[in-house]
Structure 1
Amino acid sequence: MLTKVLSIPLKPGKQAEAEQLVRRFALLGPEQEPATLSFRVYRNATRPDYLLLIGNFADQDAYDTHTGSPAYRELVAGRLAALAVEVVETDHDMIISI
């Protein structure tokens, strides 16, 4: 399993718009992708204009399919990226899951 964690500080005042984009993307992208095992997006109650995305994928091919989809290109790489100050992506290996 491949886990991707994206830390996304947003431009000031863009939280609501960014949340709408990821909600829409979840339905058009990850929900339609059998090898996307989970897709979670978090907001931070004490840090405005910030999102944390965590996705679990069956393998690298699944992630490549996910990021190559038209929905990803339009909504994440396109519109969400335009709202971000930066996007920091890191890979993680799971140690434990309950």
Structure 2
Amino acid sequence: MNAKQVSISSYSDLEKLSPNIKIVHFRKFLNKKLIEKVLLKCPNIKKISCSKSAFRRNSGGFGFLEFSNIQLSVSEKDRGRPNLLEKMIF
């Protein structure tokens, strides 16, 4: 696999990881155990990204990333279909 980035939505997605991946995006959930497994399979990771809601649910689990050279990026844009009120205002 020559990809430099990959999206992960479950533990089954760990099979598609290769050591040359640089950016990982967690789509649905993440926890410390999943991040550790990804770091073991991909030691060259430079950036981990996740949604705002995933970060809020697991904000305490990112402390160990401060000691490594891995950047954590939290997307501020809300995902999903906007409701009718949001469509009318924006």
TM-score for the superposition, normalised by structure 2: 0.29
The TM-score with structure 1 as length reference comes to 0.27
Q: Please identify the structure whose Cα radius of gyration is greater.
A: 2
